[in-house]
């Protein structure tokens, strides 16, 4: 029986991003790293362990049509077709954990990242209006964190 290991401590934060291929998980994880800077790790799901600190779960609930539209804007757009993606696609394949937050396709990358920053406590205040870049990360007081993307 494999040994369960615990990672982090009470002050660390783990953000788990779930959703279908092309739903925006990697884009969101990259933007979180850009906004938060040093001290943020991007960990694929296969390397996750029990986390001792605060954990936030987000599921990207994106329609197949929107997933295909987003895919056409990516560098990998020619690597696989919409027919291939249809075989992978699982509607509302939620993580199934308590406290899971569903992000729908109307949420922009700025809205999504802003929401995560606020809900995890990494931002000092929410945006004052839609599209406002009012979020201020607090890197000096922010402990190291893991940002995980689940396919």
Write the pLDDT tens digit of every residue in 96-111: 888 899 999 999 999 9
Eight-state DSSP code of residue 37? -
Task: Calculate the alpha carbon distances from 66 to 4, 32, 85 in Å.
Answer: 38, 22, 12
Domains assigned to the chain: 12-150 (3.40.50)
The confidence band for 66, taking pLDDT boundaries of 50, 70 and 90, is: very high
pLDDT at 137 over 80: no
Bridge-partner residues for 17, per DSSP? 58, 149
Measured from the Cβ of residue 91, the count of other Cβ atoms closer than 10 Å reads 9
Nearest partner of 88 among 96, 80, 79, judged by Cα: 80
Per-residue pLDDT tens over the stretch 45-59: 655 667 778 888 999
- pLDDT per residue over 30-48, tens digit each? 999 898 887 777 776 655 6
- The first and second tokens of residue 67, run together, are 């997933």
Percentage of the residues of the chain whose pLDDT score is greater than 90: 27
- Residue 72 in this model has a pLDDT that exceeds 50: yes
Question: Tokens 């969101």 appear where?
Answer: 28
């Amino acid at each position: 029986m494999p040994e369960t290991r615990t990672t982090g401590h009470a002050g660390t934060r783990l953000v788990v991003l779930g959703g279908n291929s092309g739903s925006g998980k990697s884009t969101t994880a990259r933007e979180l790293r850009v906004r938060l800077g040093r001290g943020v790790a991007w960990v694929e799901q296969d390397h996750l362990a029990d986390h001792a600190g605060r954990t936030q779960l987000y599921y990207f609930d994106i329609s197949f049509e929107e997933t295909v539209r987003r895919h056409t804007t990516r560098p990998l757009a020619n690597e696989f077709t919409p027919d291939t993606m249809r075989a992978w696609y699982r509607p509302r394949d939620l993580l199934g954990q308590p406290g899971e937050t569903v992000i729908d396709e109307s949420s922009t990358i700025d809205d999504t990242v802003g929401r995560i920053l606020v809900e995890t406590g990494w931002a000092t205040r929410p945006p004052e209006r839609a599209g406002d870049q009012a979020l201020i990360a607090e890197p000096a007081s922010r402990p190291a964190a893991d940002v995980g993307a689940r396919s």
